[in-house]
Amino acid sequence: MIGLREGLEAALIVGIIAGFLANQGRRDALRQVWVGVGIAVLICVAVGVALELLTADLPQAAQEGLETLIGLFAVAMVTYMILWMRRHARHMRVELESSATAALARGSAGALVGMAFLAVLREGFETVVFLLAAFQASTSPLEAGGGALLGVILAVVLGYGIYRGGVRLNMARFFRITGAVLVIVAAGLLMTAAHTAHEAGWINFGQQQAADLSWLVQPGTPISSLLTGVLGIQPFPTIVEAVIWLVYAVPMLVHVLWPQRGPASRRRASEPAPTPQPEPTRG
């Protein structure tokens, strides 16, 4: 889901820019866009490898602390991304094409290359940090990596299909559903961050057991891999972990799933109510 969501965001932005340049006959700028995309991907991979090597070389307590910071940073980034896409998904194509038209009118294709580069760099960096935090919480990093790769491949296929016009998606609905899933994943990362923060000696309050979920989260089972590795739910969650999960997940889910009003309904809501006309007097 992380690979699909983040990959499709980058693929959509690059696809819109590439399609616009192709329609304008700017093949020279299109080649530069692909070069910028490739450089952004390499930078993101290098950042991921560097963070993994840094984590592996630290002492146990420092590893737990760094994993906590990575988890918190990942949650902050994905939260911003969810909120941004909820606001802009419906009109993203119009906004990007308007910006592209303005850039070409100024005689600068470099701005479009920079837009594609920064889009892939931003989404790629979010993906690296989010996946790194998920891998650290996962019971099987190899399987998690395979799932992430499948998600990215599917995102590229969908993005190419949208670019060619053969695939049509309701973007607002798609990002609302995937946003809700990522909220649950992010809430689980916060639970994991609270757990690793305790292991690092940073949080020592609220460590009383809040619930017994061992009947559901049984180590070594597929359900345990899903609930613990993906959603961060522990078999014996503490009070602080449960509170953090609820405080983040509940308001975020309400915000993401709450129906958005369209422009017409917003205009009607902002218009003043008509002044009632006095009834004619009867003589």
For the ranges 33-37, 166-170, 244-248, the one whose mean pLDDT is highest: 244-248
Torsion of CA 45, 51, 53, 59, to 10 degrees: -170
3-class DSSP assignment, residue 139: coil
Average pLDDT over residues 216-229: 71
Terminal-residue alpha carbon distance, the chain? 73
Mean pLDDT over each residue of the chain, to the nearest integer: 76
- At residue 140 the predicted structure's pLDDT band, cuts being 50, 70 and 90, is low
Structure tokens at 86: 């909820």
Q: Give pTM, 2 decimals.
A: 0.66
Residue 81 CA to residue 225 CA, distance in Å, equals 26
Domain boundaries, the chain: 2-259
Tens digit of each residue's pLDDT (9 = 90 or more) over 40-59: 888 888 888 887 777 777 77
What is the predicted pLDDT for the residue at 247? Answer: 93
Output the CA torsion sign for 158, 159, 161, 167. positive
Cβ pair 93, 169 in contact under 8 A = no
